[in-house]
């Protein structure tokens, strides 16, 4: 049955409309969880507010379990769900640069749009920076291309690489995530600070 | 702390279930038996050797020859530009993107046409498009393309043209010029022309954040 | 802060489950995860093609974009989704009474310093998201949902990088 758009159950235009609706849900949840505040987001790195970790991993794990159950019931064909291709070096270097951007700017792209939507000027400036960064990458692409395309690995799943079934890996990830949540609660008690 | 406890309970139960239940790896067949029967009877999957040779000689970038024999046979002889996907690997995850795509015309071949046709049957049932079968396989290819027979007594312009083309194709592909004992006029009759690559939309959602 | 103070925000675990359901819906409906930086990429491609079509036509980055994507760059799933994010964020802020123009920063630093760092952070994130083929949402979050190796590697690199540098920027936040 699913994914609906890939199996032509809904038309491309409906798909775009639903993208908009999904976006509304995404933006609403992010803002309600406090992701529009850069100081709240940055709290993750100083231990005073672990909301990013909690929301992020609860979201990831929920969607992962949901997809596995959908696949089990035959509602969605996981082979047709897009998996980002892996280019190992590029993924690590890009991730580290994003980490630097995160700690300096206090946002990530998704949350900056949320912040900008409720009038945070720093979020708007961050978005401006994002555009400059992407333009820079586009115009300087020859400089980045070797790195960008090094160590291609197609689109592997971690479970396949570890020789585990998706379900067993999901279980391990859930245990790890829950462990982090309890740790996060403990850390927040240790570094108490008024909510921003 | 309350919601975390609920979350722990629910997630652990769900994760345990999903870890213990065997994975659903079946790929649903997209075509019904009746649809398959219609397609098999129509025989639209077959492409004649002449047409394939023409495309190979012209180095047509829109075709991809796929050898479904075992790697040993593939190493001994294969058609120009062919890749090897042994029949037992046809359902393998790694070949998914190659077989289910909308840009090229995949042409399966084996020694006869049986294995190639089996490969086509499997992929077609999964709903993949743009896969075809080389009619008669390599055996027939040898007879018609690599060692073409001069036309017999009844000579039509058509046949001469075809012979000339086959000779040329044979030379282009380094075939010998040994006269073979070919069955006369064994040319397949009444096969519908395989269509050009049907424009098919992307089967995977495009991504790229 | 010893007495538990009622948060102005949704409980993070409830928020997380809702986020997961949105992500699940995206995967079920459209066969893909959420994302943000991809929309920026589309806008960058679209503007460059409008302003300097000749340059775009002969530059590799833009050529490769068109090999991977069909149709006009702005008619893109992520662009529609990001428009939704702005609307959703605004609606949520309006409900909660959080609509206000302001620069949020630690009392230790000036607004100006905050804005300079926001700009720098944006530039870094922009470049990084291109190299990482997706940002925190597109690569990391959506990657977890489909158990993607690359997504989880990128996620660890993002958080690892940020933790490694956290000490140097502590004054901006604490």
Domains of chain B listed by start with CATH number: 33-142 (3.40.250.10)
Q: How many domains does chain A have?
A: 1
What is the distance in angstroms between the Cα of B81 and the nearest Cα belonging to chain A? 23
Residue-wise pLDDT for B46-68, tens only, equals 888 888 888 888 888 888 899 99
Q: What number of other Cβ atoms are within 10 A of residue A47's Cβ?
A: 17
Residue B177: what pLDDT?
A: 46
Query: What residue numbers bound the domain in which A41 lies?
Result: 12-190
- A126 inside domain: yes
Cβ-defined contact of B202 to C70 (cutoff 8 Å) = yes
Q: Which of A132-136, B59-63, B72-76, B166-170 has the lowest mean pLDDT?
A: B166-170
CA nearest neighbour of B134 among B62, B68, B198: B68
Cβ-defined contact of B4 to A166 (cutoff 8 Å) = no
Chain C residues touching B207 at Cβ < 8 A: 32-33, 35, 38, 138
CA nearest neighbour of C129 among A94, A112, A93, A90: A94
- A38 inside domain: yes
- A4 inside domain: no
User: Does the structure show a pLDDT above 50 at A50?
Assistant: yes
SS3 B46: strand
Q: Is C11 on the interface with B (CB under 8 A)?
A: yes
- A37 inside domain: yes
Q: Cα(A143)–Cα(A138) distance, rounded to whole angstroms? A: 10
Q: Are C9 and A34 in contact (CB under 8 A)?
A: yes
- A6 inside domain: no
Tell me the average pLDDT across A11-27: 93
The residue ranges of every structural domain in chain C are 11-100, 102-174
Q: Is C57 on the interface with A (CB under 8 A)?
A: no
Interface predicted TM-score (ipTM)? 0.93
Residue-wise pLDDT for C54-93, tens only, equals 888 888 888 888 887 877 888 889 999 999 999 999 999 9
Confidence class for position B1, pLDDT limits 50, 70, 90: low
Cβ-defined contact of C135 to B209 (cutoff 8 Å) = yes
What are the mean pLDDT values of chain C's consecutive 10-residue runs (174 residues total)? 61 94 94 89 90 86 83 87 95 90 85 92 94 88 91 92 90 81
Q: Are A135 and C127 in contact (CB under 8 A)?
A: no
Q: Which of A31-40, B42-51, B70-79, B185-194 has the lowest mean pLDDT?
A: B185-194
Query: Measured between CB atoms, which of B3, B205, B208 is closest to C31?
Result: B205
- A1 inside domain: no
- A30 inside domain: yes
- A2 inside domain: no
Please tell me whether the peptide bond between A3 and the residue prior to it is cis, using omega within 30 degrees of 0. Answer: yes
């Amino acid at each position: 049955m699913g994914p609906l758009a890939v199996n032509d159950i809904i038309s491309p235009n409906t798909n775009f409309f639903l993208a908009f609706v999904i976006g509304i849900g995404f933006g609403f949840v992010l803002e309600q969880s406090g992701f529009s505040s850069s100081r709240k987001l940055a709290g993750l790195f100083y231990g005073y507010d672990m909301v990013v970790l909690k929301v992020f991993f609860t979201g990831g794990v929920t969607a992962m379990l949901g997809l596995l159950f959908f696949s089990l019931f035959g509602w969605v064909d996981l082979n047709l769900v897009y998996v980002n291709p892996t280019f190992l070096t590029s993924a690590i270097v890009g991730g580290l640069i994003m980490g630097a951007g995160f700690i300096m700017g206090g946002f990530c792209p998704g949350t900056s749009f949320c912040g900008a939507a409720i009038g945070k000027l720093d979020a708007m400036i961050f978005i401006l920076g994002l555009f400059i960064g992407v333009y820079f990458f586009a115009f300087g692409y020859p400089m980045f291309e070797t790195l960008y395309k090094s160590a291609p690995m197609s689109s592997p799943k971690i479970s396949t690489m570890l020789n585990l079934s998706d379900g067993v890996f999901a279980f391990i990830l859930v245990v790890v995530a829950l462990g982090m949540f309890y740790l996060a609660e403990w850390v927040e008690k240790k570094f108490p600070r008024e909510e921003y | 702390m309350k919601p975390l406890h609920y979350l722990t309970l629910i997630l652990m139960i769900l994760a345990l279930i999903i870890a213990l239940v065997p994975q659903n790896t079946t790929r649903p067949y997209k075509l019904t038996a009746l649809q398959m029967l219609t397609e098999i009877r129509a025989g639209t999957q077959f492409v004649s050797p002449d047409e394939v040779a023409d495309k190979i000689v012209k180095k047509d970038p829109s075709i991809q020859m796929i050898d479904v024999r075992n790697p040993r046979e593939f190493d001994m002889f294969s058609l120009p530009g062919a890749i090897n996907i042994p029949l037992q690997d046809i359902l393998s995850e790694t070949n998914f993107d190659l077989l289910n795509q909308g840009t090229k015309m995949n042409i399966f071949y084996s020694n006869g046409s049986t294995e190639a046709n089996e490969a086509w049957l499997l992929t077609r049932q999964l709903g993949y498009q743009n896969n075809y079968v080389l009619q008669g396989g390599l055996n027939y290819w040898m007879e018609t393309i690599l060692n073409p027979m001069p036309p017999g007594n009844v000579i039509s312009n058509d046949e001469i043209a075809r012979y000339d083309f086959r000779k040329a194709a044979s030379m282009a592909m380094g075939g010998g010029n040994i006269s073979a004992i070919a069955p006369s006029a064994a040319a397949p009759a009444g096969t519908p022309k395989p269509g050009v690559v049907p424009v098919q939309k992307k089967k995977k959602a495009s991504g790229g954040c | 802060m010893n007495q538990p103070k009622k948060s102005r925000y949704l409980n993070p675990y409830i928020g997380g489950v809702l986020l997961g359901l949105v992500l699940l819906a995206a995967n079920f409906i459209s066969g893909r995860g959420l994302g943000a930086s991809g929309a920026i990429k589309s806008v960058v491609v679209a503007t460059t093609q409008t302003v300097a079509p000749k340059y775009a036509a002969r530059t590799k980055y833009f050529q490769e974009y068109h090999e991977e994507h069909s149709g006009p760059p702005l008619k893109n799933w992520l662009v529609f989704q990001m428009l939704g994010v702005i609307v959703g964020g605004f609606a949520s802020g309006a409900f909660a009474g959080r609509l206000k123009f302001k620069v949020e920063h630690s009392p230790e630093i000036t607004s100006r310093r905050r804005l300079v760092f926001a700009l720098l952070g944006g530039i870094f994130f922009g470049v990084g998201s291109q190299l990482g083929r997706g940002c925190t949402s597109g690569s990391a979050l959506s990657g977890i949902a489909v158990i993607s190796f690359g997504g989880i590697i990128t996620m660890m690199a993002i958080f690892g990088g940020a933790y490694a540098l956290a000490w140097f920027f502590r004054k901006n936040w604490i």
